[in-house]
Structures are given as structure tokens and as C-alpha cells.
Amino acid sequence: MKVGVIGSGTVGQSLAKAFVSEGHDVILGTRNPNKEDIVTLKNENPSLTIDTPAQAAAFGEVVVLAVPGTAALESLQQAGPANFEGKILIDVTNPLAAEAPVNGVPKLFTTSDESLLESIQKLLPTAKVVKALNNVGAFLMYKPTFQGGKGTVFIAGNDEEAKATVSEILESFGWEAENVGKAEAARAIEPLGQLYVARGMLNNDWAVSLKLVRL
């Protein structure tokens, strides 16, 4: 599969490497291809292509958005909305506000009635936007080994086939995917990123996952 990743931070790099490890063709889109860590990443992963965010979006059948939530809409505009037409867009972002956390709890710039995913979907009406992995530490995204089995990644989005494809990708990355509904369900998933950060800051412990357990 052709995969484009937008954003070369900890998440973008982690997922670009994960897709390469699974044998996909990957372009990592960055505004700064000469950054030291990107040069190192390329040297360590020769089959990974580094290019602009627009080229990554144009190339990918599946595109990953891995930028700060505050920069999500702007970076999609810069990558060219036409490059996302009809494509699966895996939205890993969290709508974390720029303000300081309150008692270790980060603030969100969204409301309980509109998620960032929904704003992205409005900007890219024909893209098949799927929320996923936003409450999973970047270092855990690919094949983590948890006590008690696989962790659960909650996903949401309007397109059922796109969610099925994202579920298969997540399974290949060592996760169990749980579909919780259409785009509006991202209103419930995005605060899980807030929960992950609040708990992580309180305990200085990030090596955990949510898991859905059944009777």
C-alpha cells in the first residue's frame, strides 16, 4: 500500500517506520527535510522516502496526519485539500490547546459537541477520515507487548470500508481495533488523549494502554 505521513515528530516518525516495517511504500512529509533527526531516520530506513507534506498526501492511498492539533487544519491546507480526495486519512491528532495544563490536565480547544476530526472532515469532505491511535504513546504504536494481551485502539469515522482498512492496519501493528461509530464518535475518543496525558503526567508512566474487556 502507498502511505503518506504528514508531520515528522515522534508520532510521524514512529508510524512511518511501522508502515515501512510492514512492507508498505512510505513518504514522510516534512517542512524540514534537513533536520538532523530526519537525516538519521532516512539513513536508518533507506526505503523510506522523505518529501514535502503535499507530496506525501498526493502519494498516499492512506495518509496519516501527525501534527499538533492546533496546526491540523493549516497543515492540511498547506498539503493541498485536493490531494486527499477519496483517500483514507488516519487522524492521530489531539486537540490539545496551547494553554498550560490545569493540575496536570491538558486543555482541549474543542467542545464536547464538536471534535477536531469533524472539523477535518468538513475541510476535506470527500476524504475518509478515521480517528485512531490518539491516546497511544508514540513509542507504543508498533507491536507493543502488554501484560494481559493486546491493547484496544478506539476508531471512529463516517466510512465503514475505511474503518475496516484501518482496523487491518492496526491489527498488523499489534492492536485490537474497536469501532465506536461515525465522525461524531470522535468527540468521545479525543478526550482519551487528554486522559492518557493526565495519567501519564501524574504517574510519570506512559507505558500503558486502554483495553476493552468483555464479560
Ligand X SMILES: NC(=O)c1ccc[n+]([C@@H]2O[C@H](COP(=O)([O-])OP(=O)(O)OC[C@H]3O[C@@H](n4cnc5c(N)ncnc54)[C@H](OP(=O)(O)O)[C@@H]3O)[C@@H](O)[C@H]2O)c1
Tell me: does residue 106 bind ligand X (CB under 6 A).
no
Tell me: does residue 75 bind ligand X (CB under 6 A).
yes
Single-letter code of the amino acid located at 74: E
Of 105, 138, 180, 188, the one binding ligand X (CB under 6 A) is 138
Q: How far is the CB of 209 from ligand X (least distance, A)?
A: 12
Q: How far is the CB of 214 from ligand X (least distance, A)?
A: 25
CA distance 105 to 55: 36
Tell me: does residue 109 bind ligand X (CB under 6 A).
no
Q: How far is the CB of 131 from ligand X (least distance, A)?
A: 10
For ligand X, the closer of residues 5 and 127 by Cβ is 5
CB 174 within 8 A of CB 168: no
CA dihedral 100, 103, 105, 109 (to 10 degrees): -40
Kindly identify the residues of this chain, within the stretch 155-184, that bind ligand X according to CB under 6 A: none
Single-letter code of the amino acid located at 20: V
Of 37, 39, 40, 71, the one binding ligand X (CB under 6 A) is 71
For ligand X, the closer of residues 10 and 45 by Cβ is 10
CA distances from 180 to 177, 183, 184 (A): 10, 9, 10
Closest CA to 155 of 186, 127, 184: 186
CA distance 21 to 92: 19
Q: How far is the CB of 203 from ligand X (least distance, A)?
A: 15
For cell 465522525, what's the residue?
183
CB 189 within 8 A of CB 180: yes
Q: How far is the CB of 78 from ligand X (least distance, A)?
A: 8
Q: Which residue ranges make up the site for ligand X (CB under 6 A)?
A: 7-12, 30-32, 66-69, 71, 75, 92-94, 96, 133-134, 136-138, 193
